[in-house]
Structure 1
Amino acid sequence: MKFLRYGPAGAEKPGMLDASGGLRDLSAHVMDLAGISLLPQSLAALAALDPEDLPLVHGTPRIGPCVGAVGKFLAIGLNYADHAAEAGMDLPQEPIVFSKATSCIVGPNDDVEIPRGSTATDWEVELGFVIGKKAKYVTEAEALNHVAGYCVINDVSERDFQIRRSGQWIKGKSADTFGPIGPWLVTPDEVGDPQDLALYLDVNGVRRQDGTTRTMHFTVAQIIAHLSQFMTLHPGDVIATGTPPGVGMGMKPPLYLKAGDVMELGVAGLGVQRQQVRGSD
């Protein structure tokens, strides 16, 4: 199934797509796509509904982040061999883990804002996944059983803040609007093998990233197993798995986002995002 959230920011309603791509309202059956509603039994109950019996949402409402009330927003750095090469860095011996503040999360088509003082705001298309079942000390073999679904993430990054402003990467990863998520939360049965998905990103109609999750250094299962050794993952936690080559930082000379630019990005089977870039408020 493809689940999503729609409506004004902060007041999104849960929905699902029907066979023809129509948006159906789920609010009579679940309060939000968050927390316990992402448990396997909860999603199974929603998937058992006949979409044709659900109210059809008319018009073109705003699409919000595909999961609400996110507890943790984690990401993996340098997880594609060719991206590490363009960054001039060696592949890590174990996953590089960093956080993005949950306050950076926005919908897939919301504007991206360049923060004050930014000189190097960059793009990163990524495969994301959402935890659906508590994961603590899980093995790689059982790890994928803890995934509620997969989604598109743009891990927007300010490279100067990230690299030169001291401390952890979180400084360059957490500005408001730096975490577009969605449009859909796609259940694992529809995704198939998460290590065989194409992903891309265009800036102003020019293809900048064109990759595949086949070249990920650490797989989704390995990432879950690794993270669960250090912290308990809960339903609704969001993890971004790294980006393929083609980021602005890796170009010669580097190319960064400016007000008026438009990003379009997607992952096969998970939908498309489109963001316009604007200056800071």
Structure 2
Amino acid sequence: MVAPGITVDGSTKIMGVIGDPIAQVMTPTTINPIFAARKVNIVCVPLHISVHELDTAWKGLKALGNLIGFGITLPHKQAAMTLCDSLEPLAERVGAVNLVRREADGSFRGYQFDGKGFVRGLKGQGHTPSGSHCLMLGAGGAAIAIAFALAEEGAASLTIANRTHAKAEELAEAVNRKMGRSFARAGDPRPEPGQIVINATSLGLSASDPLPFDTDLVDGTMLIAEVIAKPEVTPFLEAARARGAQIHSGIHMIRGQVDLIAAHMAEAQAKV
């Protein structure tokens, strides 16, 4: 449903969100009311595009003259980089994009808001990344952005646990090189007391998914966070809460970045 205050007409600009699957995305629900409040004639809609159809779909997106851009969710955040006409420096450094905007010259430029959104979401809920020791599960698009954002926010350390250990090592080395300090390392998915533990994998999108690790390892000193926004409380978060841990839904990462994205897209509206 289009948010109250938005009338879809011939001058409405479209913002898409592409992914596979797409039913879990919360961006349209959260950003359309912001567009309405800003009184900009933009509507955000989900677009289901499979991995195998991304190249073809990209040409179609480029051909839509009233499309001002689109958000990107899994599994396209890294593949989309090679299709963008240009990248902002942060997206280039992170190696993944989660927003593409049509610029004034019609080109598609890639941007990255995941890391900023995750940190803003934590702080908005009263949590302090600065000085914290963190464990992150995953080394894909969102995980890469979060790793850099935590380092820039002043987190004390980050252990990256990934199914492919070499990818975790590669990410840790990239962050350490950029930050000029020994901040990140590859390790095992074994949380330690007092850590912020982040599930940045896709495990939890389906009710049949296994948990990222044995939640018997969780205790009440930990904050367990997700990047998955739907369901807002995943089985992983439920299990962690049962162990006495604080939990932090992925919806806060979405809410932490949508106002930034809305302003970014509203800026583009007048140029398209």
TM-score scaled by length of structure 2: 0.28
The higher relative CO (CA closer than 8 Å, separation ≥ 6) is in 1
Structure that is richer in helix per residue? 2
Structure that is richer in strand per residue? 1
TM-score scaled by length of structure 1: 0.27
